[in-house]
Structure 1
Amino acid sequence: MPDDGWNKDEVLRRKLHERYILFILLSILIGVLTVKWSDVPKLTDYLGFALTLASLLLAVLAIGYAIYSNQGLETNLASLVSSISDVKAIASTLSASSTALSSDLRNLSERTGGIDQRLSEMAEAARNQDQKNQTVTPTDGKSAPIAPSFDLRRFAAETSTSGRWVLFCLAVAYLNNKAINMRELLHRTEKNVDYSHGFLIAVSSANIYEGNSELSNLTVDDFRGVAKEFLSDLVSLTMTSADVRK
């Protein structure tokens, strides 16, 4: 064990020895006083008078301390009453401030209520206008994803032969409602894969059709203006383009 300067067991033994020594000394002192004072005449009268005098002195001290304590208690009670009055005044002030604040908030809510409503109406009107600008309603009552001025057949006639091939693949995927591996078709027909992929991404970015632009798993969910006649037009345009090149 580390040496911290003292031992607990030794301290306890020392205290016990001190008590024994004190008890022995008190016993010796009481014995000596008994032997020496027994010869004093009227010792009991003297002791009785001394005890009575001591009691009177203690009573006077107790009365004085009680008076002093009562004065301090009265002072504390007066301070407490004053503090309570201050607390009541503060509580009244807080209550009045709370009432005034509630009234101000109610007035502010009434004033801003009309503004909030007008802002909501303006936002709703702007949202409706945006939806009208983005949605095109053709004769069949369905919304179209492309602008009304867009002509798919004219676009097919003006584009390149590789572009018509991409449109042909999109039309086939849409009309058959199946995913096709356009990459494999491009390899088999010896078409330019990079050009066709770029053309497909451009057509997809222009929202000409709805679907993905993955060459290996091409799906078309919606392709407005496409029908079986459109496939015939694409074949005819491609053949015409080939004859012109010849």
Structure 2
Amino acid sequence: MAADELTPGISRRNFLKGAGGAAAVTGLANRAVEASEAGEASVASGADGPLRGTLEIVLRINGHERPVQVEPRTTLLRALRERLDPALTGTKEVCNGGSCGACTVLLDGEVACACSVLAIDARGREITTVEGLVEKGEGLSPVQAALLEHDGVMCGFCTPGFTISLGALLDARPDAPEAAITEALAGNLCRCGTQPAVLAAARELSSGGAKSDQGGGR
């Protein structure tokens, strides 16, 4: 019998290799369990660390505290449209890439694309959606009424974004000139071609904007 054999068919070398491999697998499994437990603990405590699964957060939306279950990857847009009960579907999902402006909301008074903001990053901030504009008063907001008057609404998917962006501009600068209006609406796209009508409505609302003799309708 060879010197490195323990029993027929099993060598000392193969035995040591097998024992070492088993120990390595056991160690990896233990570390995976520890990491999982650490992640769950960090979610429960709110401490920094890896987030897994879903967690309940509270978002302040249109002046109301709204609890919502989200995953770490859930965008604010998906939280508004799919996770809230009742859902707020006025904020539209179109490009889902921050390039069309249909999902525009206000975060602490600043315009933002809800598809490009994580829901967990919106905690502690004041979120205003297009539904919140109606809640502030009775009937349509001045921006919404002007868009209707100038025939600036067609399919309606872009309308909430235009309403939020234009409203934010006029709240900050009631006398916004034409250049400021154009810049404020640059991130909002209407695929139906109502952009001229939207600009005409904006000019009418702004005391500093150029008035449109043609009314801006299609």
TM-score interval, normalised by the smaller of the two chains: 0.3 to 0.5
TM-score (norm 1): 0.30
Q: Which is higher, the Rg of structure 1 or of structure 2?
A: 1
| Larger strand percent | 2
| Larger helix percent | 1
TM-score (norm 2): 0.32
Higher RCO by CA contacts (8 Å cutoff, separation 6 or greater):
2
